[in-house]
Amino acid sequence: MNALRSGPLVLMYHAVGARGALEDPFCLFVPQDRLHEQLATLLARGWTPLTLDTYLHGARPPRSLLVTFDDGYRSVLDEGLPVLRELKVPATVFVLGGLLGGTSRWMAEMPDEPLLDAEGVRELAGAGLDVECHGWDHSTMVNASPEALVRNTTRAARVLSDLTGRPPRAFAYPYGHHDAPARRAVAEAGFEIAFSTYHAEGRFATPRVAVSPTDTSATFRLKVLPAYPVMRRIVGHVPKLRPAVHSLIGRAPRN
């Protein structure tokens, strides 16, 4: 059970750009100006953005955050990187070792979003971002075979190591899903930490806060509060609360 958040805030984004609800039914694309507004607001309020190395081993101020992006969309390079550079915010990007240069084919509803290719990975790493591992092909690691676990961890890590010149240190579970064998496989593959979404289970299932294009300024402010994990759990356990909360704080409009 998650309690009040302790330690740095870890934000989970996916893609960056303008997409309507029909093009992006899973709410993955945060508009570029919204990303800028969210990060600039945190900086103005005294938050300190961390590199992965500082998050893992350095001094972390009380109000510190790690910005992460899952799936390795090309849009993170094209539209996300300019924002990060302007604001001088480091970020960690989790990519799929077996789908470099491919598309989001694991989602039948939106299978054609381009992913980073090898050169894009090198470009992000050259810009100072941490490029880390999100598995092989976005297949779930829950109830996975031993062969699939090796493919998602050791084999995927080797691809990234060959591209960036260093072994990846962090892992993000596809869909945020994990079980004990998946966590054990990540640890045995040499990763220092693994990130889930909301289901925490020690260092190899560290929770994050998901940011979506429907977040308003009000919902984003709520999400960075230390009490947000508790608030989310309460709302999740009382289904009638969810529409009431959304009607109170609203949703950002989408085309």
Instruction: Considering only CA atoms, give the Rg of the chain.
Output: 17
CATH number at residue 215: 3.20.20.370
Q: Does 4 reside within a domain?
A: no
Residue 191 belongs to what domain range?
9-249
Q: Does 254 reside within a domain?
A: no
Q: Does 255 reside within a domain?
A: no
Cα distance between residue 68 and residue 106, in whole Å: 20
* Residue pair 209/187 in contact by the 8 Å Cβ criterion: no
Question: How far, in whole angstroms, is CA 232 from its chain's centroid?
Answer: 18
Plot region of 93 (φ>0 → left; ψ -120 to 50 → alpha; else → beta): beta
pLDDT in tens, the chain (255 residues): 445 667 899 999 999 999 999 999 999 999 999 999 999 999 999 999 999 999 999 989 989 999 999 999 999 999 999 999 999 999 999 999 999 999 999 999 999 999 999 999 999 999 999 999 999 999 999 999 999 999 999 999 999 999 999 999 999 999 999 999 999 999 999 999 999 998 889 999 999 999 999 999 999 999 999 888 777 777 665 665 555 555 556 677 776
Structural domain count of the chain: 1
Pairing of strands 130-133, 9-13: unpaired
Q: Does 2 reside within a domain?
A: no
* Residue pair 96/73 in contact by the 8 Å Cβ criterion: no
Smallest CA-to-CA distance from 93 within 60, 115, 63 is with 115
Q: Does 162 reside within a domain?
A: yes
